[in-house]
Amino acid sequence: MSSKQIVGAFFGIIAAILIIASVASIYRVEEGEEALVLTFGELTDRKDAGLYWHVPFIQSVKKQSLTEKYTLEYGYRTSSAATTSQGAVYNDVESEAIMITSDLNIVSVEAIYQVVVDDAAKFFYQVDDPFGTLQYAFETVLRRNVQNRTLDDALLNKKVIEDQVFPDFKKIIEQYNIGVRVEQVSIQNIDVPNSVKAAYEDVINAQNEELRKQDEAEKYYYQVVPQAEASAYKMIEDAEAQKAETIASAEGDVAVFNAIYEKYKLDPEITRTRLFIETIEKIMQNADDKYVIENSGDGTIKFLPIGGGDQ
């Protein structure tokens, strides 16, 4: 082969390489994507949907969807997706999931959150690890919320926690300015870890027993106290009535005594005789048999039945 042929073949190869490189340097940006053009590793251009070309060996292109939702898991990881024959398989990540409540109890929290990249340049170059940054920010907000709650509050108010974590998490990510938009936060599960569940159930049983005893005590109280109050009220009323009756009787006796005394002062002898006769009358009214016995002074006793009995 002559030197001209060698040179021609060389340039032919170069031309073929350039043509192939040029064709390979054509790229398409799909709808909902953004492409970053890097020249010697530096960002020099941004492209939206369309067909473009970049300088081979000098420029490179990085594409990023601006519509894809990334679902990130917290407190667990899906190790095997669900299929038609079996369900998904999950692995717990206790270092993330375990949290302390305000009353110093332990809970396990599992959650997911969804984000969308809305600025490819910031997403790639604002921080070294955008997804790691998202995870740390989400953990900060979630732990702060749970740590401000009691155990019962955390277990019973999953939806409330979601509604409070979402705006706080979204605000932090906006402040970070990493080109990501938070779309959704969902608390999957809040429960007591298996390692302490038995102890927790013992506490719940003790609390339930305490409430039952309190209910029984209140029931007994509301049964006994009204009866005791009613009995006390009746005793007071009876005593007041007896008091009034005794006072009235005493006042009546005093009035009778005063009336007799006034008569006695006028004529003591007649009053004494009348009182003697009235007293004898009261005594004799209750006697069944009545007799008159008289000592005549001559040694004989006169006996006269005057009524009652068979006489």
pLDDT digits (tens, 9 = 90+) for 112-122: 999 999 999 99
Which residues have C-beta within 8 Å of that of residue 283, sequence separation ≥ 6? none
**94-108, 190-204, 214-228 — most confident range:** 94-108
If pLDDT is split at 50, 70 and 90, which confidence band does 196 have?
confident
Q: How far apart are alpha carbons 106 and 74 in whole angstroms?
A: 17
Question: What is the average per-residue pLDDT within 40-60?
Answer: 87
The DSSP H or E segment spanning 59 is: strand 59-65
Question: What is the average per-residue pLDDT within 31-40?
Answer: 92
Q: Tell me, what's the pLDDT at 181?
A: 96
Which residues have C-beta within 8 Å of that of residue 77, sequence separation ≥ 6? 90, 91, 93
Q: Tell me, what's the pLDDT at 22?
A: 57
Q: What is this structure's pTM?
A: 0.61
Query: And the tokens for 90?
Result: 């999950």
CA 85 to chain centre: 40
The ranges assigned to domains in the chain are: 3-64, 69-78+89-192, 195-266, 268-311
Torsion angle, alpha carbons of 200, 204, 207, 209, to 10 = -130
Q: Tell me, what's the pLDDT at 311?
A: 43
Query: And the tokens for 279?
Result: 């007293």
Q: Tell me, what's the pLDDT at 269?
A: 79
Q: Tell me, what's the pLDDT at 169?
A: 97
Percentage of residues of the chain with pLDDT beyond 90: 40
Q: What are phi and psi of 94, to 5 degrees?
A: -65, -30
The DSSP H or E segment spanning 304 is: strand 301-307
Q: What is the pLDDT of residues 247-262, one digit of tens each?
A: 988 888 888 888 877 7
Q: What is the pLDDT of residues 54-77, one digit of tens each?
A: 887 788 899 999 999 999 999 999
Structure-model confidence comparison of residues 269 and 6, the more confident one: 269
Query: And the tokens for 247?
Result: 């006072």
Q: Does domain 69-78+89-192 have CATH number 3.30.479.30?
A: yes
